[in-house]
Each structure stands twice: as C-alpha cells, then as structure tokens.
C-alpha cells in the first residue's frame, strides 16, 4: 500500500515537472512573439535547463524545484519583477544557485567524474561532496554575474548590474550553494527517481 502511494505521488510529481517543461517551451514562443529576441533566447536556455533533470532521472522534488525556479527566474526578468520587488533578486539567486549546484554535482556523478554521496569505499565522501557542490555553486554564481555584465554591456542595458547588485547576488548565490552542499551531504545518491 505504501509503495503504491509513493508511486502515485512520484507519478504526480513527474507530471508536474513535465508540465513546467511544457510551460518553458510555451514561454519560448511567448518570449519571441510578445517580447523580443533576448526574451526568446532566455526562455530557450531555460527550456534546455529544464531538460537536464529529466535526462538525469533525479528525484522528482529536485526536478520540480529546479525547473520551476529557472522558469520563475526568467519570467521575473522579462516582467521586470526584479525592479519592482528588489528582494526577489536575492531570493532567486540563492535558490537558483543552490539548485543548479546540486544539479551540476549530480551530473558529474552520473558522468563518473566525482563520487556519489553514498559511495561506501570513501570514508569522508559526504564532506567531499559538500565541498564540491559548494565550490560548483560559487563558481557558477560568478559565471552568472559575468553573463549579466556581458548581457548588460552588449545585449540589453536593462539588465541590472553594478557593484552592490553583483556583491549581493554573489552573497545570495554562495548562501544557496552552501545550503545545497549541506542538503546533498545529508542525502543519498540520486541515481534513480524516487
């Protein structure tokens, strides 16, 4: 009985995650049709990003949180929510960085480039996993800030940049990466959907 309930909950979660992917695909069309090429390109990147957890077969909750956060972040940018609600930028940077760090770590596990958090042959693999995930998150947050600067300089000057914005985004991203690192170190390998 418990297994049947867990299977139904997992199936419903997967349907929700796939619905987010469909929304990302629709957003590409909406972005190109009602906004501009930059919005269309942004949603196209989000669509590609939402396919990664499906391809990796990560846990459904992580898939849903990751995909929904990417899509929300893109829509918040296109609709200028970051200007209207200044606090949202930091919240999204923390959440997205943590989720992207976790997803990148799981991708590296799948590619056999790093050990899974439950690898029995390594005595301190959980601590090492946390260090790798946190480092990935901080590095990716830094690359994101480079991307924002390039976007502002060469594509669209409405993209918010500046010293305070960049430092705040990096601090929020680091907090998200550290949170993801702790959660990953406490969890198990995500080799299959649960």
114-130-174-49 Cα dihedral, nearest 10 degrees: 40
- pLDDT of 188 > 70? The answer is no
Question: What's the mean pLDDT in 128-142?
Answer: 95
- The rounded mean pLDDT for the chain is 89
Report the 10 Å Cβ neighbour count for 104: 18
Question: What is the SS3 assignment for 114?
Answer: coil
Work out the burial of residue 1: count CB atoms within 10 Å of its CB; fewer than 13 is exposed, 13-18 middle, 19 or more buried. exposed
What percent of the residues of the chain are helix, what percent strand, and what percent coil, each to the nearest 5? Answer: 80, 0, 20
| Residue 39: C-alpha distances to residues 45, 166, 190 (Å) | 10, 21, 32
Output the pTM of the full model: 0.85
Question: What's the mean pLDDT in 99-119?
Answer: 93
In angstroms, rounded to a whole number, what is the distance separating the alpha carbons of residues 117 and 44?
A: 32
């Amino acid at each position: 009985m418990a297994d049947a309930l867990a299977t139904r909950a997992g199936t419903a979660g997967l349907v929700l995650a796939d619905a987010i992917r469909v929304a990302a695909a629709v957003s590409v069309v909406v972005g190109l049709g009602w906004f501009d090429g930059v919005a269309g390109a942004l949603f196209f990147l989000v669509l590609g990003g939402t396919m990664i957890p499906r391809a990796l077969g990560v846990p459904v909750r992580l898939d849903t949180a990751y995909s929904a956060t990417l899509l929300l972040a893109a829509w918040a940018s296109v609709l200028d929510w970051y200007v209207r609600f200044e606090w949202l930028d930091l919240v999204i940077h923390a959440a997205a960085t943590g989720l992207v760090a976790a997803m990148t770590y799981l991708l590296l596990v799948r590619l056999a480039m790093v050990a899974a958090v439950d690898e029995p042959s390594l005595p301190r693999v959980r601590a090492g996993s946390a260090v790798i995930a946190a480092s990935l998150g901080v590095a990716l947050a830094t690359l994101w800030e480079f991307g924002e600067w390039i976007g502002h300089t060469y594509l669209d000057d409405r993209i918010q940049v500046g010293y305070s914005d960049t430092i705040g985004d990096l601090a929020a991203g680091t907090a998200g990466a550290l949170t993801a690192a702790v959660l990953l170190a406490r969890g198990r390998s995500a080799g299959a959907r649960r």
